[in-house]
Structure 1
Amino acid sequence: MTVLGLPLDRVDSGPKTTGAAKFSAEYPYPGLTHAALVHATISRGRITAIDTREAEALPGVVTVLTHHNAPPLKPPQKVNPLNLPSMVSGTQVNYLQTDEVHWDGQPVAVVVAETLDAAREAANLVRVTYEQRASTVDFETAAPHARQQKNSPISQGFAKKGHAERALTEAPVSVDLRYTTPVYNHNALEPHATTAVWEGDRLTVHDATQTLDWFRRHLARRFGIPLANVRVLAPYVGGGFGGKGSIWAGTILAALAARATGRPVRLMLTREGVYRTVGGRTPSVQRVALGAGTDGRLTTLIHTSVARVGRTGGIPEQITSQSQHLYAADNILLRQQITELDLVPNTSMRAPGESIGTFALESAVDEFAGTLGIDPIEFRLRNEPAVNPLDGKKFSHRMLREAYELGAERFGWASRTREPGSMRDGRWLVGMGVASAYHPAWQFTANVTLRLAADGTVVLRCGFQEMGMGGATAQAQIVADALGVPFDAVHVVYGDSALPIAPGAGGSMQTASVAGSVLAACAKLRRRLRAGGGADLPDLVRRSGRSFVEVAVGADSGIGRILGQAKFFAKFFLDSRRWAKAAAGAHFCEVRVDPDTAEVRVSRWLGVFDVGRVVNAKTTASQLRGGIVMGIGMALSEHTLVDPRTGRIMNPGLGDYHVPVHADVPPIDVTWLGEPDPTMPLGVVGVGEVGITGVAAAIANAVHHATGKRIRDLPITLDKLL
């Protein structure tokens, strides 16, 4: 019997539940010191004076590093999508190397002390004087002056088919709508933390990172040491969601402080420190305009967006991505614009682009269906494309119609009355809403080694990351299935840059990427043993007189690495020309709204997903539910408040930035169709990102059905409904 698809417990569940698992801030070293950051209090300018005397006099303080005495540090590389490791830098700021300040919260000093309390107390005693310069920090006033985003291999800033604006004016029925989404900040269970140790010119870093290899290369370049002299360890990461996919100030300054003091340094960001130094999701202003005939067939689809980046970094989000693929229309216009602000640069956050892009598109589709007098599911199915609408590419795999049909039956959609405000349960107004989920599927290269011992045990070594999604468990299941060995006989070693290189954990690509190489390694091992289909592989090893057989796929250096990168880019561009690959799904949401207080409660949820083959049912369900919960927060409560005068974040922490708690989350039913994508390894597509897409729209659509009010500006708060 295959172990693929079974809901097996995570292989790291024991260490995590017993406390044996060590996270990046839990590694002991002799002479360990602690560091704390001093943050700038202006949004743009320069430091004219910095007084560290009172801080340095505090008992236990080892040193205070500023731009006057910090060791030299090389600047980050400029971002180049064709040089993937260059994209790991969160900002272009060269910390503590100049007197320049680029945003409110930028670190301008780091205190190192014998204890964490002393470091943080001393950081409060550093006095900084500034010369302020004119800054731009208000997104709302900057948005009208945004510039066109350029196309790149990872995001299209502009795309069109036909004459969308003209078709809109000629359409018998049309809508032209505006949506906004705010800034959102990362709140992973484990805040960013780094333990850095130098031994001569060799650097070891324990860090909460999602990208071991790119991270390691960045550190080697910044500190001017050979790549082989840097080791990054991240066996356990307490959540990332994109925020730990880049290198931020805490990591760089921990390593800088360790070099300056000659002692191990631990730097744990406070919750406020995360907000001040780590990017979040960009705000957006979006326009969605739809035109159709009276038969409900779309004739035109326009989706434009304005988002922000920092003046010192940030990557534009693919806000109109899903609008290339979800609906058949003869005319399509997609445009993304960006504006640069003097704020901490934005960064990836679960399904960057599609999370907020689906809110606008799926809200507009729902509203347009109401204008046409067509059921919102029927309208979506009526406009379901046979090929990719924008360019005619084939879908590698698409079962969105089946997801809606199954979901409608299981959710009881037929019981929904059409008129808004027509359903009640006692005093509560009841509403039902739907929305499509969508996220592209990617596959990168991964290097692995696989060892089969004569005693039947198997060791897979690969430098991928485990952030709680069950990656190691899934890869163990894949190995067990491919080699015909028990699941418990497989041991997966991961989370260390000394292991064979793997892609970062992001974009829902890690499972498929590593699986492709794992399958190749298993096939290579079978060939090495000349094993037939039903062979007992451990017995073949024993009969060969060897204690083990080991194979490798990919190379970390030399000509092998160059060839591997060339192979990746060739496959990436060839696939992008041939196929439209994606995970998709249908969200069904029920809300209850108090007619007097406008309190919104999400009371029931069903998600039906087309995510290819599922490797582990338990971890897949967990990922999909987690995405939905995160989407509930995006829709109803999360909102980073940025002072439009100063650029200062006004609610930097969980006391004032409200994420969903248990009372906010209903029973969430998730299911999947389970049909493999034939163009992906094992048919795996990815589940980490798709769950959040469409969630905010499903809630907004349900709220409209309950109350008759359309909320086009997130979050959906009481004042917007009263």
Structure 2
Amino acid sequence: MSTTNSLTMNQPVPASLLDIGAQDLIGKPLDRVEGPLKVTGTALYAAEYRVEDLAYGVLVGAKIGSGKIVSVDADAVKAIPGVIDVVTDYDTFIQVSAQGGETKAPAQGVKTVTYRGEIVAIVLAESFEVARDAAQRLEIVYDEDEGAYDFDASDRKVDSKLPPNNVPAHSSQGDLDAAMADAAVTLDVTYTTPSQNSAAMEPHASTAVWKDGSLTLFGAYQMPTSDSQQLAKALGVSSSKVRIITPYVGGGFGSKLGIAPESVAAAVAAKRLGRPVKAVMARQQVFEATPRRSNTEQRIRLAADAQGRLTGIGHETLASNLEGQDFFEPAGVSTHFMYAGENRTITHDLVRLNWGLAGSMRAPGEAVGMLAVEGAMNELADKMGIDPIELRRRNDPATDPEKDIPYSSRQLTRCLDEGAKAFGWDKRQAKPGSTRDGEWLVGMGMASATRSNVLMESSACVTITPAGTAVVESAMTDIGTGSYTILTQIAGEMLGLPIDRVTTKLGDTAYPPAAGSGGSWGAASSGSAVYLACEMLREKLADAMGVDPEALTLKDGLAIGDNRSVPIGSLVGEGLEATGTIKPGQQEKTFTQASYGAHFAEVGVNAVTGEVRVRRMLGVFAAGRILNAKTARSQCLGGMTFGIGTALTEELIHDPRTGKVVNHDLAEYHVPVNADVPQIEVRFLEERDIHANPIHAKGIGELGISGAGAAIAAAVHDATGIWVRDYPLTLDKLLDQLPAV
């Protein structure tokens, strides 16, 4: 019989059982428990499940950016040997919003096209090759509209009436205009960032199997609990009739938060055919038909007194999205609490374009918002002749400057100071362009990092077997982040079991519901659920042994107490089971919760070609309890690598005449490769956040990207004296300003 241990975070949890565990697993740099499966190719991903009588589906994207479908010549391709059907009548086809929700579906299929590449059909065949050939031959007649494709057009449509997205679209405090007029020093600059694509290694894929009116979907999804609910709504069935199985996900970065077109297409087609259907997006379709990070135009205004203390901050963001979509890139999310300044204006507006759907991508808001804010802080420091670290130190507030509530923990200044010492910041030359290595101009730069901490309702079931092993089950996912390992460590520490005696099962909606992987909430939310389940099991073990829970020690599979030591398997009868559930509460309203860090970068800029090479990087981070030093470091390395791409290479380019994505593959959309990434050092500060959750951990998956690109841009300025406010910093933006050789 299972019992439940539920906790709503209305009060801090000063004492964590992880601090008194005897197994010594928490914080250790343990290898991934699922690593051998992945490196041997035996971990099954969405496109690799073998099912009988499988039909292959290939998606077809629209060839116009705006208009209507007049006709689809399905009969011509259905005459091709091996073609089974062409499905266009998606009675419940939906467009997925950035937050994993959905918009109203067009009746009887996608008749109105809102962006080029929008999925409008799926061609089904007995083999993938035949389906692909037929999909390429499928003729669709369109009635094309003019469309809106140019973000910079003089007549662009700007929507200022938007609902909140993590933060309100518009907020103000005090009088920023007056602060700017009265300030000793001001800065008023505009930064621009391009659209980006998550470009995960694994493309979006789904295999749909119907049986007895219920759907099982083997998919590549980050949040299967909510995804199954979205898919059920799209298909017009009860959520109990949809099961999503996604034990391994080859990266997502936000693009797999909500259901994508291939899942609905595969499910509808499979139901129509009465046989399973697999649909895998081509790489080009991933770029065209899955959520992009919005491009932004950000005006930053800073007002400071003669000592560099901020009296005003303005952060006004213009992003883009489709008509009818409410999601906006929350670029000002960290500006609300990052620095002091009593006069503040933070706004977000949307330009309505017929580009692909804009949605969440790793660190939505901070990833691009901090490029602008941190860039402006570095510019202000340069303008005032103040060290940029000192400027931030002077503006490190004691309490949230807008809400006037305390921080749950905040170690920004310590991150800055320890990073400066470790990086050799004191060797930085005061005058930009004064350090040279042959034809390379060398410079250092820095930027702060922060990422809001979020706790989401999640559950996990933990079972102790008579053999003295444990099984953890949750609909939580592992998208390459280390969830399997971290949850195994928590259960092992709490129950006194070695790693090899704990089995963790994830990514299946048949398991207890979980928030999944997104928003850096995964480890803390699902980890807390496992913790609570194990806390209940510890009480049951203590009761079975006849000792107080506080007097019980669990280690190496033994229960120790009252001068006795027995195998835990002998205390569980036919087995003990408990379910833990964590819920957010008043603590997130009483305290501003975030993780913090500091980035340092050294670059070389070729004085002849303008080429930028990152020579070394350091990130120092404070994110509560570090559950696994190796997986945490890996997350920060990945985030900082993202930062290199953001700063120097990544740019999703839309043709302003048609809306077409012109670089829709990994050959032309340039993510950083090994040659672009130098030796990166990551350091963690010891920290516990008792207001965050019972395991005292905070989110880290998106912290590493936040601010990283701004440190590189500052290093480029230090090397050349050039401020580039238009990301990425490609050589054409430097060449005409470089000093003579």
Normalising by the residue count of structure 1, what TM-score does the alignment of the two structures yield? 0.94
Match of 1:341 in 2: 353
| CA-CA distance at 1:300 after TM superposition | 1.1
Tell me the equivalent position of 1:533.
552
**Is 1:11 paired with 2:40?**
no
Q: Aligned-pair distance for 1:152?
A: 2.5
Query: In the alignment, does 2:709 pair up with 1:696?
Result: yes
SS at match of 1:301: strand
The one-letter amino acid paired with 1:553 is G
**Contact map agreement 2:47 2:205 (CA 8 A) in 1:** yes
Residues 318-373 of structure 1: per-residue CA shift (max 9 Å, x gap)? 11011111111121111111122222211110001110000000000000001101
Structure 1 contact 96–109 (Cα < 8 Å) conserved: no
1:599 aligns to what? 611
Instruction: Give the stretch that moved more between structures: 663-672 or 337-346.
Output: 337-346
* 1:683 partnered with 2:696: yes
Return the match for 1:88 from 81, 91, 100: 100
- In structure 2, relative to structure 1, the CA distance for the partners of 1:549 and 1:664 (3 Å cut) is same
Answer whether contact 1:184 1:639 (CA < 8 A) is retained.
Answer: yes
Structure 1 residue 539: Cα displacement: 3.4
What is the distance in 1 between the residues matched to 2:168 and 2:296?
16
Code of the aligned partner of 1:602:
V
Q: Does 1:708 align with 2:734?
A: no
CA distance in 1 between counterparts of 2:677 and 2:642 reads 10
Aligned counterpart, 1:557: none
Q: Is the 8 A contact 1:143 1:307 kept in 2?
A: no
Distance 1:39 1:716, change over 3 A: same
Asked if 1:652 is matched to 2:671, the reply is no
State the Cα distance separating 1:447 from its structure 2 match: 1.5
Instruction: Provide the residue aligned with 1:636 in structure 2.
Output: 648
Q: Which amino acid aligns with 2:73?
A: D
Q: Secondary structure at the match of 1:497?
A: coil
| Mapping 1:239-254, distance limit 5 Å | 239-254=251-266
Q: What amino acid maps onto 1:719 in structure 2?
A: D
Write out aligned runs for 1:487-506 (5 A): 487-506=499-518
Q: CA deviation at 1:94?
A: 4.2
The match for 2:635 is 623
Per-residue CA deviations over 1:61-88 (Å, capped at 9, x if unaligned) read: 1111123xx5x327679x7xxxxxx942
Alignment of 1:250-289 (within 5 A): 250-289=262-301
Q: 1:329 aligned to 341, 360, 363, which one?
A: 341
Q: 2:250 — aligned with what?
A: 238
1:51 shift after superposition:
1.3
**What SS class does the counterpart of residue 347 from structure 1 fall into?**
coil
Give 1:438's aligned amino acid: T
The Cα shift of 1:398 comes to: 0.5
Q: CA deviation at 1:150?
A: 3.6
State the match for 2:580 in structure 1.
Answer: 553
1:240, distance to aligned residue in structure 2 (A): 0.4
Say whether 1:56 aligns with 2:83: no
Local SS of the residue matching 2:553? coil
How many angstroms apart in 1 are the aligned matches of 2:155 and 2:483? 40
Aligned equivalent of 1:364: 376
8 A Cα contact 2:408 2:593, kept in partner: yes
- Alpha-carbon spacing, 1:710–1:144, altered in 2? closer, same or farther (3 Å): farther
Structure 2 residue matching 1:692: 3-state secondary structure: coil
Aligned-partner Cα distance in 1 for 2:629–2:572: 39
CA spacing shift, 1:592–1:149, aligned 2, 3 Å: farther
Alignment match, 2:389: 377
After superposition, the Cα gap between the structure-2 partners of 1:546 and 1:689, relative to the gap in structure 1 and judged at 3 Å, is same
Q: Judging changes above 3 Å, is the alpha-carbon distance between structure 1 residues 153 and 602 closer, same or farther for their aligned structure 2 residues? A: closer
| Number of positions where the alignment pairs a residue of Structure 1 with one of Structure 2 | 697
Q: Which moved more, 1:412-421 or 1:53-62?
A: 53-62
Deviation, 1:686, is 1.2
Tell me by how many angstroms 1:89 deviates: 3.6
What is the 5 A alignment of 1:169-568?
Answer: 169-313=181-325, 315-529=327-541, 530=543, 531=549, 532-534=551-553, 536-537=558-559, 539=566, 542-544=569-571, 546-554=573-581, 568=584
Equivalent position of 2:128 in the other structure: 116
- 2:95 matched to 1:73? no
Alignment gaps of 5+ in structure 1: 80-85, 555-563
What CA distance in whole angstroms lies between the structure 2 residues aligned with 1:74 and 1:39?
A: 14
Asked if the contact 1:509–1:686 (Cα under 8 Å) also holds between the matched residues in 2, the reply is yes
Report the residue type matching 2:138 in the other structure: V
Q: Distance in 2 between matches of 1:314 and 1:381?
A: 36
Give the unaligned 5+ runs of structure 2: 1-22, 544-548, 560-564, 736-741
SS in 1 for 2:422: helix
Distance 1:143 1:415, change over 3 A: farther
Please list the CA deviations of residues 209-233 of structure 1 after superposition, one character each: whole Å capped at 9, or x if unmatched: 0011111111222222222221110
Q: Match of 1:10, as an amino acid? A: R
Query: Is contact 1:311-1:343 (8 Å) kept?
Result: no
Paired residues of 1:454 and 1:539 also in contact (CA < 8 A): no
Whole-angstrom distance in 2 between the partners of 1:625 and 1:717: 22
Decide whether the 8 Å contact of 2:447 with 2:711 is kept in 1. Answer: yes
Contact preservation (8 Å) 2:102, 2:230: no
State the distance in 1 between where 2:103 and 2:294 align.
Answer: 15
SS in 2 for 1:691: coil
The alpha-carbon deviation at position 542 of structure 1 amounts to: 4.8
User: Partner of 2:69: helix, strand, or coil?
Assistant: strand
Q: CA deviation at 1:721?
A: 0.2
Distance 1:432 1:144, change over 3 A: farther
* Deviation at residue 147 of structure 1 after TM alignment: 2.8
Distance, in Å, in 1 between the alignment partners of 2:283 and 2:42 is 24
Letter of the 2:216 counterpart: T
Q: CA distance change for structure 1 residues 93 and 641 in 2, over 3 Å: closer, same or farther?
A: farther
| CA contact 1:441–1:686 (8 Å) conserved in 2 | yes
Secondary structure of the 1:246 match is coil
Q: 1:540 to 1:306 in 2, by over 3 A?
A: same
Q: Is the 8 A contact 1:91 1:345 kept in 2?
A: no
Identify, as 1 or 2, the structure richer in helix.
Answer: 1
- 1:286, 1:304 within 8 Å by CA — same for their partners in 2? yes
Shift of residue 36 of structure 1?
0.8
- Residues 191 and 412 (structure 1 numbering): CA distance in 2 closer, same or farther, change over 3 Å? same
The answer to which of 50-59 and 434-443 deviates more is 50-59
3-state SS of 2:458 partner: coil
What's 1:718 paired with?
Answer: 731
Q: For 2:128 and 2:539, how far apart are their aligned partners in 1? A: 55
CA distance in 1, matches of 2:65, 2:536: 56
Partner in structure 2 of residue 670 of structure 1: 682
What is the CA-CA distance between 1:174 and the residue it aligns to? 0.7
User: Structure 1: how far apart are the matches of 2:195 and 2:530?
Assistant: 39
Q: CA deviation at 1:314?
A: 5.6
Counterpart CA distance in 2 for 1:145 and 1:166 is: 30
Q: CA deviation at 1:717?
A: 0.6
Identical pairs, percent: 38
Kept in 2: contact 1:458–1:491 (CA 8 A): yes
For the residue of structure 1 that corresponds to 2:335, the secondary structure is helix
User: Residue 461 of structure 1: CA displacement?
Assistant: 1.0
- SS of the residue corresponding to residue 615 of structure 2 reads strand
**CA contact 2:452–2:595 (8 Å) conserved in 1:** yes
SS at match of 2:244: strand
Deviating beyond 3 angstroms after TM superposition, the runs of 4 or more aligned structure 1 residues are: 74-77, 89-96, 142-145, 535-545
**Residue in structure 2 matched with residue 558 of structure 1 by the alignment:** none
